[in-house]
Copies of this chain bind each other. A is one copy, B any other.
Amino acid sequence: MKKALAFDIGGTKIYSAIVNEEGKIISEIDKFSTPKTIDGIKDVLKKQIEKYEQDADIIAIATAGDVNNENTAVIGSTGNLVKGYYTINFQELSGKRVFLENDANAAAWAEYRIGASKGTNVSIMLTFGTGVGGGIIIDNKLFKGKSGAAGGMHFKMFSDKRRKCTCGSWDCYEAYTSGTGLKRSAEEYLNNPDVTTYDVIDGVKNNDSKMLEIFNMWQEYIVIGIVGLVKLFDPDCVVLSGSMAQFLDIKKIENEVNSDNVTTPTSIRLAETENYAGMIGVSLLALEALENG
């Protein structure tokens, strides 16, 4: 069975492991803090590749940022990584083929191949963490758009410039539905800049009425965005993932989405592949690409 040496490069951590064609992690998982320099990031990758590439048929990297349609390079800047990250020549890090994909796209593929959206034709995966990621699968293919940037969850929630998004624009879905978005809603509602996401989650557990209101507003924003996506894509299912997804009431979200004038019901599901979805998905993609030449 063929294997990939997988990486997941995020804003705070880099993970690495060996993943097989079935999407199983068959090694220890190595973890590193993401270095703040380009050379630092390259060093981490190089050392892992030197150590493990003989055990793998391909190098598979899930990364923050958009990845081109050839899966060879990151295009454009990535807010959470060092400036100029996209200039890294990933191909020269190994004698073997190096295959890249955006982390949310990779996670969506993991869900499609071995997780919650298995067997569907049209699915959307949303990741709610510090930010919000998205991956769209149409007819057995990751939908990448003209340059690889498709799946960006930066449609607007308001049209009157209320809240800046980390992307530089205004009122994006990410700005209201990420963990950071929840914190910002709490800050505004309580007029307290020090309130945290954890405070809200804790408050909900303790039945604090204000925290419940803030939490429900956050979940309502998530619903409002999904309604728009469902009308655009008419998907079989929408998969919710990421560290914040565990707090969501999936059944309630599904009921609200489907009560908002949707032609045929859409299934809302919690992700199944969890923490290492990025490494698993990019490995499956990379090994399929190897198979297809």
Chain A contacts to B: CB under 8 angstroms: 66, 75-76, 120-122, 134, 136, 138, 143-160, 167-169, 176, 220-221, 224-225, 227-229, 231-236, 260-264, 266
Contacting pair B234 A150 (CB below 8 A): yes
Contacting pair A155 B261 (CB below 8 A): no
CA distance A149 to B265 in the complex (A): 11
Contacting pair A234 B169 (CB below 8 A): no
Contacting pair A263 B232 (CB below 8 A): no
Other than A75-B263, A147-B234, give 10 A-B pairs with Cβ distance below 8 A: A145-B233, A146-B264, A147-B263, A149-B231, A149-B262, A154-B231, A158-B158, A158-B160, A159-B176, A167-B261
Shortest C-beta distance, A242 to chain B (Å), equals: 18
In chain B, what residue has the closest Cβ to A124? B232
Q: Give this chain's copy count.
A: 2
Shortest C-beta distance, A95 to chain B (Å), equals: 30
CA distance A132 to B91 in the complex (A): 45
CA distance A66 to B261 in the complex (A): 13
Instruction: State which of B150, B155, B167 has its C-beta within 8 Å of the C-beta of A155.
Output: B155
Contacting pair B260 A169 (CB below 8 A): yes
CA distance A138 to B151 in the complex (A): 14
- B residues in contact with A158, CB < 8 Å: 157-160
Contacting pair B232 A151 (CB below 8 A): yes
- B residues in contact with A148, CB < 8 Å: 234, 263
- B residues in contact with A138, CB < 8 Å: 138, 143
Contacting pair A264 B155 (CB below 8 A): no
Q: Could you name 21 residue pairs across A and B whose Cβ atoms are closer than 8 Å?
A: A76-B263, A120-B146, A138-B138, A145-B235, A146-B264, A147-B263, A147-B264, A149-B263, A150-B232, A152-B234, A153-B232, A154-B227, A154-B228, A155-B229, A156-B224, A156-B227, A157-B158, A159-B176, A159-B220, A159-B221, A159-B224
Contacting pair A122 B149 (CB below 8 A): no
- B residues in contact with A144, CB < 8 Å: 234
Contacting pair A169 B264 (CB below 8 A): no
